Structure 1
Amino acid sequence: GKGKKNGKRVSKPERETDVETARANAALWELKLKVTDQDLAECREAHFSLACLNERLTNKLHRSEEDSMDMSRYWQRKEEEHEQEVRNLMEDMKRQEELALNEKNKMAQDIRMIQDKVKDLKEIKAQLEQELSDVRESMDAADKNHRENICKIEDN
């Protein structure tokens, strides 16, 4: 029984060396396992941090998109209000132009009517002056005739 028949016997120092090697290998593997567990924990922590960051960034992007759409709607509404205001001002201006044109035409008509009346008054004035001149001539002739008659009466 004891030992190997066809082989060498392992000496005690060799066995101790094998045990020490096995212990060293076990310690090395334990250390590798510990480092791997630590790396795994760090990876999990990094993964969790990145997942949280990704969620925050996704939420921020969503809020930014909503803000962008809100601003777009706001500016579109402002532009529509501005365009409506421009249309209203253009309509007001057109009405004012029509009123001004009507007023101008009425004033031109009034001026023509006044000019016609002035012309009529000038014609009446000329006619009255002519009549006055005729009356003066007639009075002068009557006066002359009257004096001549007085002279004839006085001479007789």
Structure 2
Amino acid sequence: MYITEAWGWWGVIVVFVMSLVWQCSLMASDYWLAFETSEDNAASFRPSFSDFCYLVALRAFLVHIWGLKTAQIFFKQFLNSILHAPMSFFDTTPSGRILSRASSDQTNVDLFLPFFVGLTVAMYITLLSVIIVTCQVAWPSVIAIIPLVVLNIWYR
């Protein structure tokens, strides 16, 4: 619910694609470094890969904007719930407890959820790219990876 609150599934797709582009830029930089440090290409230098830095910054910006927009929606819903609560709620609950709970929940939604959602997406994409590169460089590792995937699914 949190992930799709602000921009729906389109926002999730944009964040996922930007994370995928980020990981592809990391993989491309590794290949570029291996290519440029070979003896044949050591004399020429083309800094055209700085565009990937802008893509990484755009990904981080979009994840935070997405998280803050969702936090704003959460705050409006929370405030609406508090303002429409019956008077008996305020008679039995101290205002300090309400304020403390509201501020801690809002802090969690503002700071931690966008960070951890972005980090989780990035780590899954990193894992996928590590598996792809490992299978590309050492193809016999596919024989070990397939049973590990089956065991992982079975143990869940």
Report the TM-score, using the length of structure 2 for normalisation: 0.29
Q: Which has the higher contact order (CA 8 A, sep 6+)?
A: 2
Report the TM-score, using the length of structure 1 for normalisation: 0.29
